[in-house]
A and B are shown apart, each in its own frame.
Chain A
């Protein structure tokens, strides 16, 4: 998708003023937070988090070797591998396959990486009908929007809004019963599955040891998209590879609980390539596209741990900033706390100068991250990099002079006295308008603590 994160300051202001949006988000995210909490009551979160973090650290520390190993395993399983440095290269590769097969329709299951590279719109522009088959993604596609959440793409919409959308686009009756709406979507999508030539999916994990492509989902659409087609194309990031099949025992217990509070998702597909001669179902060809797009630049840096992310969405659900502005405000395919890191780190800090600051650094994201990313301290580190790269400016001037005053207790006392003296004047209110537009100033006392302390001591 088009990166609009530079416009965050404008985008969030519209969203935060949308009461309906905030109500939708509040309901959905708090429900997810509650369910997550309940689901972890029965397992040792800290233990699993620690193990997952160790596996991810190990994987990234020898990523090149692991990728080669995965490549070998996948080739043995008759998959074809393509490394794409950029979105353009990944998209062109997919189009090439689609054209070779004379494909007219592609069915797609949910994948953030395909959103990142804008694959569906690209294929549609090139004459290939590309249908999102995850219910949330389908809703978003029908509405001509982009996902606003990593795991729940249509989280910003209420049932009523969805029923109106279906009514307008599909001609269904106005009925906001989720079962009815799901059945309508299923009816439309079933036709697409039957007529599709190619299926596109992401991958949650790639297992180096065995070549397994692991996909978790709840609707069965990913399984159909990957097995009821002639060609299956996997598009995923290079950081998704893990060493051993047995590592999944950790991730499987963490991922469902972190996203939706499920012990495990309804479907877990372990795919090893095209169908063999004795198999009746399955694709004839399987292609795996491994996307870099800024990822390898983080290897060996202080930000490497950001690549641990398994896209569970837990940090979005707990984030009160996300809850009040929604995913679209971020202007990036990756919203929320992790998005405020991934966006500047993958796509350039100059492209997301405000995102790392759009956090109160409350640390709730770090607390729930299943793979142990220290999200809020990473945000702080990126803030420092952004400020260090920029010379001059009003804010720097203020902080420099603030510091100068703080190093001289006498100046500090005087500055405090003046500020307190000015507290009832319009001048100070204007100077602090970021505060006073939305809140009252505290009632300024006539004496500071140190003045009180000093006079008491003198007595």
Chain B
């Protein structure tokens, strides 16, 4: 039995297969409409989420399965002090697969150890968010036709942004990648990612502060939100939250075939006047998020659709 804790749990070959299935789902959704008949997905969300929870649920429903779960810790026995492992033992009796989001890092790993069903890490604190990374990779691969030979700009909160860390880690496995890290000094990429992941793999990168300087050379711009929930101090958050705003004017500096991705939700970092630009890929990205989660559920349940 497999779980998904970290995007690196999947080999490049497995990732390629998942993306092939996801692209096939996009073209032939009816072929997959009953692939999970009779199967149940439990969504255990100890922290609020719109996209991640609903996209997992939509994925299972699209496959003909059903869903159950809770969307905040207060509506679970966690409020009574139940441990993650006991909750997981319980859910293993009710469902065939589960997706867990938890504010504490490593909670889904604890769950997986005590689970008799596959566990998907749907985000654990500032640690990992592997299905977002799979979504990002599928989006880039589908729009650009490749995952190698690209200059990727990552902008905003590179310090606490778990999606950024996971995406960097995953992309280092492909040839010809260059990273441009765009952030204020205070939100720079942690050194353990810069040194142990980027430098260790001899990946070229540069750190810049101004978005406009970086835009002309990028093939992908990955914007992030400065996340209030990751700050212990409100003043620090307020100082950083509006540091970057991508608008129509700035986008003129970018290549015609550059795409803008964002894990969403956005606050102010992408102006709404960018939404209609053909390079704005962040809404398509959400749709790809459903396809890749459908492919992932099939993979973890070992269901093959011919």
Our verdict on whether A and B bind, yes or no, reads no
Chain B residues near A (Cβ < 8 Å): none
